[in-house]
Structure 1
Amino acid sequence: MNDLQAEYEVPGFGEGSFYIDHAYLRPPYKIGWEIDDFRTHGQHASRRTFEYERERQNHLVLNGWTVFRLPLDMIRDQPNKCRRFVLLTLGKLYGDFGEKKETSLPLKQRELVRFANKLQRPFSPAEAGELLGISTRHARTILHEMAEQGWLDRAGGLQRIRTYRLGEKGKLY
């Protein structure tokens, strides 16, 4: 959990900053874990507080955050249930947490499969390069190899492939 930060400040949209109770910042995702106390967020919430919380949530989502809300009572009373949910979420987004798969892929290829699965639309070599922090040319080479192996399918372009999408092998991973 090296990528977890408490009380993480997110710049607002011209109206100050928002704070996320716990931010998990590991590319390619930005995950926010909000801890909601019933008394503060439910029982004694004013209309203004209710509106602020919804606006805040919407701004975070628009800014690329995936936000999960956990009730404080559940954390206190059912900590194992919360732990399972967090691990299940991180496992779904980032990998299998030690469970050996039949076919393993190098890190960059795994990230591209996850990226394609999350997008559910064709993506360009430039997008892949940005995700991985590599040149578009290098990304194109990796994408071409993955398409040859069945992890990705060519989605656009006749002479030169312009976009890729998740292939059959990638859907099973």
Structure 2
Amino acid sequence: MKPKTVATLILVGAGGTALIAATGVWALSGGLYGCTRADEELAPILASLSILDAHPSRTQPRDERYSGCDEDDGFAYAGQYYRLTTSRADVLAFYRKAAAEDGWRLRSADSSPSPAPGSLAVDTSTLCFEKPVAGTTAHLAVWFPGDLGDDAGDFGLEATVSRDGAAWC
């Protein structure tokens, strides 16, 4: 073989090996599935959002605030449940105002987000807001577990965000 041909084969082989190694590093860091490190770093940012502390005066926080990263869908989340001690309409009116004052923009409103019998629940938020957080778009959902057949005496707030835009209400 000519030296030029050998040199070309070595360069192509080295380039291919580097590409395979880079792909392996990307896959192991969450590139193929689950949360990336960048998404995981967003969870504490969401957990510190002041809107999660806002609630109508006659409601009370229930349990501790939760946060983490959804490995199935690859987005960060944080939320808080509240005991429903006022009307649903009062809760919705409160968050329309509080979210707007905190810079959130109403994206959608659905007065009855319950899934049809036998169907998959995709979006159960009654109100969905969005706002820039940490250089990407965060989503804030106001939802009622009773819409899914769970405890009708609670409501929840949940913020979600991802670096690749996979988050939603």
Report TM bin, short chain.
under 0.3
Name which structure has the greater RCO, CA cutoff 8 Å, separation 6+: 2
Higher strand residue share: 2
Higher helix residue share: 1
